Structure 1
Amino acid sequence: MSTVTVTINRLGAQGHGIANGEDGPVYVPYALPGETLAIARNGDHGTVMSTGAPSPDRIEPACRHFGPDSDACGGCSLQHLAEVPYLAFKRQLVVDALKSKGLTPEVAETIPAKPGERRRTVFSARNTEKEFLLGFNREETHHIVSIVECPIAAPGIVARLETIRTIGRALAIGADTFRIAVLETLSGLDIAVEGLKKLEDKQRRSAIETVLTLKGIARVSVNGEILVEPQKPIIEFSGVRVSPPPGAFVQATKSAEEVMSEIVAKHVGKSKKVLDLFAGAGTFTFRIAKTTKVHAVEGDDKAIKALDFAARNTQGLKPVTVEKRDLFRRPMIPLELKHYDAVVFDPPRAGAEAQVAELVRANVKTIAAVSCNPLTLARDLRMLVDAGYRIKSVTPIDQFLWSTHVETVALLTK
């Protein structure tokens, strides 16, 4: 390890400042372009020791837990960057990913997120001799920084941090680390605990008794199994009330979900029949079903059952049909795709390569591609463009505030 002085030239994809060293790039967390600073260098990684004049784009972080200090959590990486360059950074992530595949469509300005919008947060947790830790892992470590505030999380989650700690403490086994996913629903917090060993009967009963004394808790599940459900958790997709299964995927913020649903529904809404792939519990299905028939396909059995139940018990929708199917192993083929005028797909970070390979062999006129990973989205769009599709629009959406993640909606026609 050596101490050197560097000047930051640009921001990298992980939000780190990048300096051009004699033997290659050096990555410096919490540094911004234009800043000259002394760093402790270890290989291609640098730790800030002292700084000169700060960048004009540097702002005061919103949270006490942010920064290079040893007690800072790793939940955010860009709280120190002003809004305009921050949103430009998010847009550039999408532009660069598309460009890497030879695609140069017009990319819209990033639709911003606001503090306090995250309705779903995943905490790391562990019991120690001194205290119960609930928070996030410090960057590039397994060390949990226990938090007392979180400006990105919904106020209803932050206000119940001690309640969440109480539940975690009641479930903790030894000093093992586990995860607590918290979803704010209309009926209370839905808490899904993962990574725990099997509970003994005595501890299970004690934990249930503890939860029942607490306010604002709709459900607690452990490793996918419901432990106790004082109230059924309810969320709304475009006004349709859905009870998601434990630990179900839900878009991180309601505002981003609504924006994405509006963009997608407007694009496919005039079609006679729409195919919604990787449908989850109905994020896009129900917005589309306001105006047209939808067939929803999802690999998670509990999620598709929740979607189906909600569709059957909601009036005013166009027909909604469902299908449980692993689209990675068994994608929809052209013989099936020919029945639809439009296709929507919103896959996990790995993208939808197998399904897109079948789409390019079909002749669906309208496609909406939604992704949380610009790199796999670019790969999938390249395949579609090569098959004759035209990219109509690309919209970055920031629902992962102060992180390096960005959601994107791409609309295509043929």
Structure 2
Amino acid sequence: MRSPKRRVQGRPDPRPPPGPPAEFTIDAVGGEGDGVAASDRGGPVFIPFTLPCERVVAKGSGDRRELVEVLEASAERVPPPCPHVFACGGCALQHWAHGPYLAWKVERLRGTLARQHIETEILPAFAAGPGTRRRVGLHARKGTAEAARLGYKARRSWDLVDIAVCPIADPCIEAAIPALKRLAAPLFEHPKSAPTLHVTLTDTGLDIDITGVEARSGGLSADARSQLAEQAAAADLARVTLAGEMAYLARQPTVRLGPARVALPAGAFLQATPGAEAAMTAFVGEAAAGASRIADLYCGVGTFTFRLAEIAPVYAADFGPGAVGALTAALATAPGLKGVTAEARDLVRRPMLSDELRKVDVAVFDPPRAGAAEQAAELARSAVPRVIGVSCNPATFARDARTLIDAGFTLERVLPVDQFLWSPHVELVGVFNR
């Protein structure tokens, strides 16, 4: 008798428990992009690929169901553009017309702020279009000797959806998918390897940083590294690194940030779409106009630094020495700036203190998803008159905003930014004044 499969501890079961099909009316779209309906037991039921007011049939039991049929479709339903949409876990909302989809994101942002008792002016959202993502993470699994399987994880599963197209990605990345499958083929010498290709489109070509290759056994053999370099050359890639270690270099990956040309360190963070970066940078620059001294905290490679340095001298800090080094080196490519002093500094353990902020009249912070609780507390204690917050996580932004508001700031306006198209994710920039 075959033993039953055991569920791996900590991993969600991708399949809903068995249960007969049942009819539901969708009341709203939940935070993960699934439709929400009431069950006969009174609790919510979540059904993917459904929209408000639709009448549907779904199967399964518990609070997670699978859509079987749409009996009455919403007028806001549109045909999804991607053939992988119902299997792939990358996009949850391709079936929703753009206008109501974007309005839903803005209302989610408004609700997140309201939970911290924050009201403010919410401006019209910036929305990235299809084919604009310059940065994607593609998972690889063993395929043939010539080409790996490559794509995104399936919905609520550790399985891989092997993709042929990706409508969110820049056409240069989409066109490279067959070559990237060949590039990944030599990465599976060790059975525990589960590589991810972090692909960034730069001005000089595709930059690939590969993580998840088992290293404890010695990493890739010389033969596998040679195959990797051959495939990179055949695909005309700019650079390939293995968790930051150089494996192939044809051209230094560079991007233009404002007036500067920045040589990117391996695995460097960039905003996901150039359009969103331009909109956010313009908004931050407009809000900082008239400053005499600026602090750019969590500066990265200088997304906002170079634009701000056209206005006033800037102190820039980030925990990543590689990012700060790239920013500093790029200063030579941007003559005419007001001056930049850059420092590698852990702003969680060592935030910029209120005393250090005495001469700063505009402070910008752009932290990771965990937010900037420690730095926000110092800004609250300081005399800085204007703060600009950039965030990829509205919940931690709202928490940090509450700290500033309690210290006498007003959140005057917020720009929502939708650069992760068809996902539930929304970003923002907010302007605070005392």
Into which bin does the TM-score normalised by the smaller protein fall?
over 0.9
1:64 paired residue number: 83
Cα separation, 2, equivalents of 1:315 and 1:407:
32
Cα deviation, residue 200, structure 1: 1.9
Match of 1:186 in 2: 203
1:213 aligns to what? 234
For structure 2, the 5+ residue unaligned runs are: 1-17
TM-score by length of 2: 0.92
Q: Distance in 1 between matches of 2:258 and 2:294?
A: 17
> Matches of 2:119 and 2:138 in 1, distance apart?
38
Residue from 278, 299, 308 that aligns with 2:298? 278
Q: Note if contact 2:261-2:333 (Cα within 8 Å) is conserved in structure 1.
A: no
Say whether the 8 Å CA contact 1:116–1:152 is kept in structure 2: yes
Could you tell which deviates more after superposition, 189-198 or 206-215? 206-215
Amino acid at match of 1:27: F
**Structure 1 vs Structure 2 CA RMSD:** 1.3
1:79 to 76, 79, 94: 94
* Residue 100 (structure 1) aligned with residue 115 (structure 2): yes
Aligned counterpart in structure 2 of residue 300 of structure 1, from 320, 331, 341? 320
Paired amino acid for 1:18: V
| Residue identity in the other structure for 1:267 | A
| Structure-1-length-normalised TM-score | 0.96
Residue in structure 2 matched with residue 199 of structure 1 by the alignment: 220
Structure 2 counterpart of 1:13:
31
Q: State the 1:347 CA deviation.
A: 0.4
1:120-162 Cα deviation digits (max 9, x unpaired): 0111111135962110001111111111111110011111111
Deviations 1:380-408 (A, max 9, x none): 11111111001111110111010111110
Instruction: Check whether the contact 2:187–2:224 (CA below 8 A) recurs between aligned residues.
Output: yes
Deviations along 1:79-104, whole A, 9 cap, x unmatched? 00001101101101210100011111
Counterpart CA distance in 2 for 1:318 and 1:307 is: 15
1:385 is the counterpart of 2:405: yes
**How far apart are residue 240 of structure 1 and its match?**
1.3
Distance 2:348 2:59 in 1: 45
Letter paired with 2:28: R
Residue 109 of structure 1 corresponds to which residue in structure 2? 124
Aligned-pair CA distance for 1:36: 1.1
Match of 2:5 in 1: none
- Cα drift, residue 174 of structure 1: 4.2
- For the residue of structure 1 that corresponds to 2:26, the secondary structure is strand
Aligned match of 2:65 in 46, 52, 69?
46
Moved more, 360-369 or 104-113: 104-113
**How many pairs are equivalent?**
409
1:20 Cα deviation from its structure 2 partner = 1.7
Write the letter of the residue equivalent to 1:90: K
Q: SS at the partner of 1:412?
A: strand
1:292-338 alpha-carbon deviations (Å, 9 max, x no partner): 11111000110110000001342121101101011111111111111
* Distance in 2 of aligned mates of 1:173 and 1:296: 42
Look up the equivalent residue of 1:113 and give its one-letter code: A
Contact 1:127-1:174 at 8 Å conserved across structures: no
> Which whole-Å CA distance do the structure 2 matches of 1:172 and 1:180 have between them?
13
Q: Deviations over 1:353-377 (max 9, x none)?
A: 1110111111100110000111111
Distance, in Å, in 2 between the alignment partners of 1:193 and 1:252 is 18
Task: Tell me the CA shift for residue 269 of structure 1.
Answer: 2.5
Paired with 1:79 and 1:50, the residues of 2 have a C-alpha distance of 17
Structure 1 residue 262 and structure 2 residue 287: aligned?
Answer: no
CA offsets per residue over residues 22-77 of structure 1, 9 Å max, x none? 3311111111111111211321111112221111110000111112xxxx211101
Deviation at 1:231, TM superposition (A): 0.2
